[in-house]
Structure 1
Protein backbone atom coordinates (compact mmCIF):
# COMPACT_ATOMS: atom_id res chain seq x y z
CA UNK A 1 0.00 0.00 0.00
CA UNK A 2 1.28 3.47 -1.04
CA UNK A 3 4.53 2.10 -2.52
CA UNK A 4 5.36 0.61 -5.90
CA UNK A 5 7.55 -2.39 -5.21
CA UNK A 6 8.75 -4.48 -8.12
CA UNK A 7 9.79 -7.78 -6.56
CA UNK A 8 8.74 -11.36 -7.17
CA UNK A 9 7.46 -11.71 -3.59
CA UNK A 10 5.06 -8.75 -3.96
CA UNK A 11 1.75 -9.69 -5.59
CA UNK A 12 0.48 -6.14 -6.17
CA UNK A 13 1.06 -2.54 -5.18
CA UNK A 14 -1.70 -0.01 -4.53
CA UNK A 15 -0.73 3.65 -4.73
CA UNK A 16 -1.26 7.05 -6.31
CA UNK A 17 -0.14 7.61 -9.87
CA UNK A 18 2.86 9.62 -8.77
CA UNK A 19 3.84 10.65 -12.31
CA UNK A 20 0.40 12.24 -12.62
CA UNK A 21 0.85 13.80 -9.15
CA UNK A 22 4.01 15.53 -10.41
CA UNK A 23 2.19 16.74 -13.52
CA UNK A 24 -0.72 18.07 -11.43
CA UNK A 25 1.69 20.05 -9.24
CA UNK A 26 3.52 21.47 -12.28
CA UNK A 27 0.24 22.40 -13.95
CA UNK A 28 -0.92 24.25 -10.83
CA UNK A 29 2.38 26.12 -10.56
CA UNK A 30 2.07 27.12 -14.23
CA UNK A 31 -1.50 28.33 -13.70
CA UNK A 32 -0.38 30.55 -10.81
CA UNK A 33 2.16 32.29 -13.06
CA UNK A 34 0.17 32.36 -16.30
CA UNK A 35 1.08 35.95 -17.25
CA UNK A 36 4.82 35.59 -16.75
CA UNK A 37 6.88 36.42 -19.86
CA UNK A 38 9.69 33.99 -19.03
CA UNK A 39 9.82 30.39 -17.76
CA UNK A 40 8.70 29.86 -14.17
CA UNK A 41 11.76 28.92 -12.11
CA UNK A 42 10.93 25.94 -9.90
CA UNK A 43 12.86 24.42 -7.01
CA UNK A 44 12.01 20.75 -6.53
CA UNK A 45 12.32 19.43 -2.96
CA UNK A 46 12.47 15.70 -3.57
CA UNK A 47 11.66 12.82 -1.28
CA UNK A 48 13.97 9.96 -0.42
CA UNK A 49 16.45 9.13 -3.18
CA UNK A 50 15.84 5.93 -5.18
CA UNK A 51 12.28 5.53 -3.81
CA UNK A 52 9.73 4.98 -6.57
CA UNK A 53 7.35 7.74 -5.41
CA UNK A 54 10.24 10.24 -5.50
CA UNK A 55 11.35 9.08 -8.94
CA UNK A 56 7.81 9.19 -10.34
CA UNK A 57 6.85 12.60 -8.89
CA UNK A 58 10.06 14.03 -10.29
CA UNK A 59 9.33 12.38 -13.64
CA UNK A 60 5.88 14.02 -13.75
CA UNK A 61 7.45 17.44 -13.14
CA UNK A 62 10.16 16.78 -15.73
CA UNK A 63 7.62 15.58 -18.32
CA UNK A 64 5.61 18.77 -17.83
CA UNK A 65 8.83 20.82 -18.07
CA UNK A 66 9.82 19.15 -21.37
CA UNK A 67 6.34 19.50 -22.88
CA UNK A 68 5.94 23.19 -21.98
CA UNK A 69 8.10 26.25 -22.46
CA UNK A 70 6.72 27.99 -19.38
CA UNK A 71 8.51 26.06 -16.63
CA UNK A 72 12.17 25.45 -15.75
CA UNK A 73 13.46 23.34 -12.86
CA UNK A 74 16.36 25.40 -11.47
CA UNK A 75 17.23 23.01 -8.62
CA UNK A 76 16.42 19.58 -7.23
CA UNK A 77 17.29 19.20 -3.56
CA UNK A 78 16.63 16.23 -1.29
CA UNK A 79 14.24 16.72 1.60
CA UNK A 80 14.11 12.96 2.24
CA UNK A 81 10.40 13.18 3.20
CA UNK A 82 11.61 14.78 6.46
CA UNK A 83 10.69 18.20 7.84
CA UNK A 84 14.08 18.98 9.38
CA UNK A 85 16.18 17.82 6.44
CA UNK A 86 13.96 19.75 4.02
CA UNK A 87 14.35 22.89 6.13
CA UNK A 88 18.14 22.52 6.29
CA UNK A 89 18.52 21.79 2.56
CA UNK A 90 16.13 24.55 1.50
CA UNK A 91 17.90 27.05 3.78
CA UNK A 92 21.27 26.09 2.28
CA UNK A 93 19.87 26.56 -1.18
CA UNK A 94 18.27 29.92 -0.29
CA UNK A 95 21.60 31.21 1.01
CA UNK A 96 23.00 30.83 -2.53
CA UNK A 97 20.60 33.60 -3.59
CA UNK A 98 19.53 31.98 -6.87
CA UNK A 99 16.24 33.46 -8.13
CA UNK A 100 13.15 31.24 -8.19
CA UNK A 101 9.39 31.59 -8.34
CA UNK A 102 7.94 28.35 -7.01
CA UNK A 103 8.64 25.19 -5.02
CA UNK A 104 7.31 21.72 -5.74
CA UNK A 105 7.70 19.75 -2.52
CA UNK A 106 7.29 15.97 -2.82
CA UNK A 107 5.30 15.66 0.39
CA UNK A 108 3.76 17.64 3.23
CA UNK A 109 6.50 16.72 5.72
CA UNK A 110 9.04 18.28 3.35
CA UNK A 111 6.72 21.26 2.96
CA UNK A 112 6.63 22.04 6.68
CA UNK A 113 10.41 22.43 6.54
CA UNK A 114 10.29 24.46 3.32
CA UNK A 115 7.77 26.87 4.89
CA UNK A 116 10.07 27.39 7.88
CA UNK A 117 13.07 27.99 5.60
CA UNK A 118 11.16 30.48 3.46
CA UNK A 119 9.87 32.31 6.55
CA UNK A 120 13.33 32.48 8.12
CA UNK A 121 14.60 34.11 4.90
CA UNK A 122 11.68 36.56 4.76
CA UNK A 123 10.16 35.06 1.62
CA UNK A 124 6.38 34.99 1.40
CA UNK A 125 5.82 35.52 -2.33
CA UNK A 126 6.72 32.05 -3.65
CA UNK A 127 4.21 29.54 -5.01
CA UNK A 128 4.44 26.34 -2.95
CA UNK A 129 2.75 23.10 -4.01
CA UNK A 130 2.94 19.95 -1.93
CA UNK A 131 1.73 16.33 -1.99
CA UNK A 132 -0.17 14.18 0.54
CA UNK A 133 -3.01 16.02 2.21
CA UNK A 134 -2.06 15.42 5.85
CA UNK A 135 -4.09 17.32 8.44
CA UNK A 136 -1.37 19.82 9.31
CA UNK A 137 -1.10 21.18 5.75
CA UNK A 138 -4.63 22.63 5.58
CA UNK A 139 -4.04 25.51 8.04
CA UNK A 140 -0.95 26.49 6.01
CA UNK A 141 -3.06 26.51 2.82
CA UNK A 142 -5.83 28.52 4.47
CA UNK A 143 -3.26 31.02 5.81
CA UNK A 144 -1.68 31.43 2.36
CA UNK A 145 1.70 29.91 3.27
CA UNK A 146 1.15 26.94 0.93
CA UNK A 147 -0.79 27.30 -2.32
CA UNK A 148 -1.99 23.73 -2.74
CA UNK A 149 -1.41 20.07 -2.00
CA UNK A 150 -2.14 17.08 -4.21
CA UNK A 151 -4.26 14.95 -1.88
CA UNK A 152 -3.81 11.21 -2.04
CA UNK A 153 -6.53 8.75 -1.07
CA UNK A 154 -5.31 6.46 1.75
CA UNK A 155 -8.81 5.13 2.48
CA UNK A 156 -9.28 4.22 -1.16
CA UNK A 157 -5.83 2.54 -1.15
CA UNK A 158 -6.89 0.34 1.76
CA UNK A 159 -10.22 -0.53 0.09
CA UNK A 160 -8.51 -1.41 -3.19
CA UNK A 161 -5.86 -3.41 -1.33
CA UNK A 162 -8.50 -5.49 0.44
CA UNK A 163 -10.41 -6.03 -2.80
CA UNK A 164 -7.20 -7.24 -4.46
CA UNK A 165 -6.55 -9.56 -1.52
CA UNK A 166 -10.09 -10.90 -1.75
CA UNK A 167 -9.64 -11.58 -5.49
CA UNK A 168 -6.31 -13.28 -4.87
CA UNK A 169 -7.69 -15.49 -2.07
CA UNK A 170 -10.59 -16.54 -4.32
CA UNK A 171 -8.09 -17.69 -6.97
CA UNK A 172 -8.56 -14.81 -9.37
CA UNK A 173 -5.75 -13.00 -11.15
CA UNK A 174 -4.85 -9.56 -9.87
CA UNK A 175 -2.98 -6.71 -11.56
CA UNK A 176 0.67 -6.04 -10.66
CA UNK A 177 -0.37 -2.58 -9.47
CA UNK A 178 -3.45 -0.40 -8.94
CA UNK A 179 -3.64 3.40 -8.98
CA UNK A 180 -6.00 5.29 -6.71
CA UNK A 181 -7.33 8.81 -7.17
CA UNK A 182 -5.58 12.04 -6.25
CA UNK A 183 -6.85 15.62 -6.49
CA UNK A 184 -5.50 19.13 -6.04
CA UNK A 185 -6.64 21.00 -2.92
CA UNK A 186 -6.04 24.73 -2.99
CA UNK A 187 -8.21 25.86 -0.13
CA UNK A 188 -11.46 27.64 0.22
CA UNK A 189 -12.84 29.71 -2.62
CA UNK A 190 -11.79 33.36 -2.33
CA UNK A 191 -14.24 36.19 -2.99
Structure 2
Protein backbone atom coordinates (compact mmCIF):
# COMPACT_ATOMS: atom_id res chain seq x y z
CA UNK A 1 0.00 0.00 0.00
CA UNK A 2 2.77 2.33 0.96
CA UNK A 3 4.59 1.53 -2.24
CA UNK A 4 1.56 2.53 -4.36
CA UNK A 5 1.29 5.90 -2.64
CA UNK A 6 5.01 6.58 -3.24
CA UNK A 7 4.58 5.70 -6.90
CA UNK A 8 1.62 8.07 -7.20
CA UNK A 9 3.56 10.89 -5.55
CA UNK A 10 6.54 10.35 -7.86
CA UNK A 11 4.29 10.17 -10.91
CA UNK A 12 2.60 13.38 -9.85
CA UNK A 13 5.98 15.11 -9.37
CA UNK A 14 7.24 13.88 -12.75
CA UNK A 15 4.04 14.99 -14.48
CA UNK A 16 4.31 18.39 -12.83
CA UNK A 17 7.95 18.83 -13.88
CA UNK A 18 7.19 17.70 -17.43
CA UNK A 19 4.24 20.10 -17.62
CA UNK A 20 6.19 23.12 -16.41
CA UNK A 21 9.11 22.28 -18.69
CA UNK A 22 6.78 22.23 -21.68
CA UNK A 23 5.28 25.54 -20.67
CA UNK A 24 8.74 27.08 -20.36
CA UNK A 25 9.67 25.74 -23.81
CA UNK A 26 6.59 27.38 -25.32
CA UNK A 27 7.55 30.82 -24.04
CA UNK A 28 8.87 32.89 -26.97
CA UNK A 29 12.59 33.55 -26.70
CA UNK A 30 12.88 35.86 -29.72
CA UNK A 31 15.09 38.23 -27.72
CA UNK A 32 18.18 36.09 -28.39
CA UNK A 33 18.85 37.83 -31.71
CA UNK A 34 19.37 41.17 -29.93
CA UNK A 35 22.12 42.63 -27.78
CA UNK A 36 21.89 43.31 -24.04
CA UNK A 37 20.43 46.82 -24.36
CA UNK A 38 17.55 45.79 -26.61
CA UNK A 39 16.92 42.64 -24.54
CA UNK A 40 16.80 44.77 -21.40
CA UNK A 41 14.21 47.10 -22.98
CA UNK A 42 12.10 44.17 -24.16
CA UNK A 43 12.36 42.70 -20.65
CA UNK A 44 11.25 46.04 -19.23
CA UNK A 45 8.19 45.96 -21.50
CA UNK A 46 7.45 42.37 -20.41
CA UNK A 47 7.62 43.49 -16.77
CA UNK A 48 5.31 46.42 -17.49
CA UNK A 49 2.82 44.01 -19.04
CA UNK A 50 3.02 41.78 -15.97
CA UNK A 51 2.30 44.79 -13.72
CA UNK A 52 -0.71 45.75 -15.83
CA UNK A 53 -1.92 42.12 -15.83
CA UNK A 54 -1.52 41.93 -12.05
CA UNK A 55 -3.39 45.18 -11.46
CA UNK A 56 -6.15 43.97 -13.76
CA UNK A 57 -6.43 40.64 -11.93
CA UNK A 58 -6.86 42.53 -8.65
CA UNK A 59 -9.51 44.77 -10.23
CA UNK A 60 -7.43 47.89 -9.46
CA UNK A 61 -7.88 49.27 -12.98
CA UNK A 62 -10.75 49.49 -15.44
CA UNK A 63 -10.92 47.14 -18.39
CA UNK A 64 -10.51 49.98 -20.92
CA UNK A 65 -7.33 51.15 -19.16
CA UNK A 66 -5.98 47.59 -19.19
CA UNK A 67 -6.67 47.12 -22.90
CA UNK A 68 -5.16 50.49 -23.86
CA UNK A 69 -2.00 49.96 -21.81
CA UNK A 70 -1.56 46.42 -23.12
CA UNK A 71 -1.94 47.69 -26.68
CA UNK A 72 0.54 50.53 -26.01
CA UNK A 73 3.10 48.06 -24.64
CA UNK A 74 2.58 45.86 -27.72
CA UNK A 75 3.05 48.88 -30.03
CA UNK A 76 6.26 49.91 -28.24
CA UNK A 77 7.54 46.34 -28.48
CA UNK A 78 6.81 46.16 -32.22
CA UNK A 79 8.58 49.46 -32.86
CA UNK A 80 11.58 48.53 -30.69
CA UNK A 81 12.02 45.23 -32.53
CA UNK A 82 11.67 46.97 -35.89
CA UNK A 83 14.29 49.59 -34.98
CA UNK A 84 16.70 46.97 -33.65
CA UNK A 85 16.35 44.76 -36.74
CA UNK A 86 16.63 47.63 -39.23
CA UNK A 87 19.60 49.28 -37.56
CA UNK A 88 21.38 46.05 -36.56
CA UNK A 89 22.54 48.07 -33.56
CA UNK A 90 22.19 47.38 -29.86
CA UNK A 91 20.70 50.81 -29.15
CA UNK A 92 17.17 52.06 -28.74
CA UNK A 93 16.13 55.68 -28.34
CA UNK A 94 13.59 56.70 -25.72
CA UNK A 95 10.24 55.74 -27.23
CA UNK A 96 6.83 57.31 -26.58
CA UNK A 97 3.56 55.89 -27.90
CA UNK A 98 0.43 58.01 -27.81
CA UNK A 99 -3.08 57.40 -29.07
CA UNK A 100 -4.86 60.18 -30.95
CA UNK A 101 -6.51 61.59 -27.82
CA UNK A 102 -3.18 61.50 -25.94
CA UNK A 103 -1.11 63.61 -28.36
CA UNK A 104 -1.92 66.60 -26.15
CA UNK A 105 0.15 64.94 -23.40
CA UNK A 106 3.25 65.19 -25.60
CA UNK A 107 2.58 68.47 -27.40
CA UNK A 108 1.19 71.81 -26.31
CA UNK A 109 -0.34 72.16 -29.78
CA UNK A 110 -0.67 68.58 -31.02
CA UNK A 111 -0.09 67.99 -34.73
CA UNK A 112 -2.87 66.46 -36.80
CA UNK A 113 -2.24 62.77 -37.47
CA UNK A 114 -2.66 63.33 -41.22
CA UNK A 115 0.21 65.83 -41.18
CA UNK A 116 2.68 63.56 -39.35
CA UNK A 117 5.65 62.62 -41.54
CA UNK A 118 7.99 59.77 -40.62
CA UNK A 119 11.39 61.15 -39.65
CA UNK A 120 10.07 64.68 -39.12
CA UNK A 121 10.92 66.47 -35.86
CA UNK A 122 8.14 68.17 -33.90
CA UNK A 123 8.62 70.86 -31.21
CA UNK A 124 12.39 70.23 -31.36
CA UNK A 125 11.65 67.39 -28.96
CA UNK A 126 10.15 64.38 -30.74
CA UNK A 127 10.89 62.61 -34.02
CA UNK A 128 7.93 60.73 -35.49
CA UNK A 129 8.77 57.07 -36.16
CA UNK A 130 5.43 55.86 -37.44
CA UNK A 131 1.96 54.69 -36.52
CA UNK A 132 1.40 51.20 -35.14
CA UNK A 133 -2.03 49.60 -35.11
CA UNK A 134 -2.34 47.56 -31.95
CA UNK A 135 -6.01 47.68 -31.06
CA UNK A 136 -5.91 51.48 -31.30
CA UNK A 137 -3.57 53.41 -33.55
CA UNK A 138 -0.54 54.52 -31.57
CA UNK A 139 1.71 57.26 -32.89
CA UNK A 140 5.25 56.36 -31.87
CA UNK A 141 7.84 59.06 -31.33
CA UNK A 142 11.41 59.06 -30.15
CA UNK A 143 12.50 61.74 -27.74
CA UNK A 144 15.54 63.62 -29.05
CA UNK A 145 18.54 63.66 -26.77
CA UNK A 146 19.70 67.07 -25.49
CA UNK A 147 22.53 67.24 -28.06
CA UNK A 148 20.13 66.74 -30.96
CA UNK A 149 17.75 69.34 -29.49
CA UNK A 150 20.48 71.97 -29.11
CA UNK A 151 21.75 71.27 -32.64
CA UNK A 152 18.25 71.80 -34.06
CA UNK A 153 17.79 75.02 -32.08
CA UNK A 154 21.15 76.29 -33.35
CA UNK A 155 20.13 75.55 -36.94
CA UNK A 156 16.88 77.47 -36.42
CA UNK A 157 18.77 80.47 -35.04
CA UNK A 158 21.14 80.59 -38.02
CA UNK A 159 18.42 79.98 -40.61
CA UNK A 160 16.84 83.50 -40.47
CA UNK A 161 20.27 85.13 -40.77
CA UNK A 162 21.01 83.05 -43.86
CA UNK A 163 17.65 83.91 -45.46
CA UNK A 164 18.38 87.67 -45.25
CA UNK A 165 21.86 87.33 -46.77
CA UNK A 166 22.20 87.53 -50.58
CA UNK A 167 22.64 84.28 -52.47
CA UNK A 168 26.12 85.32 -53.59
CA UNK A 169 28.30 88.34 -53.20
CA UNK A 170 29.31 90.11 -56.42
CA UNK A 171 32.93 89.68 -57.42
CA UNK A 172 35.04 92.84 -57.41
CA UNK A 173 35.27 92.98 -61.22
CA UNK A 174 31.55 92.38 -61.75
CA UNK A 175 29.44 95.33 -62.73
CA UNK A 176 26.81 95.98 -60.10
CA UNK A 177 24.81 98.57 -62.06
CA UNK A 178 23.41 98.42 -65.54
CA UNK A 179 25.10 100.35 -68.31
CA UNK A 180 23.74 103.69 -69.50
CA UNK A 181 21.69 103.75 -72.58
CA UNK A 182 23.20 105.95 -75.18
CA UNK A 183 20.76 107.40 -77.60
CA UNK A 184 21.22 109.69 -80.62
CA UNK A 185 19.45 113.03 -80.48
Task: State the TM-score, normalized to the length of structure 1.
Answer: 0.25
Rg (Cα) greater in structure: 2
Task: State the TM-score, normalized to the length of structure 2.
Answer: 0.26
More strand by share: 1
Indicate the structure whose relative CO is greater, using CA pairs within 8 Å and at least 6 residues apart. 1
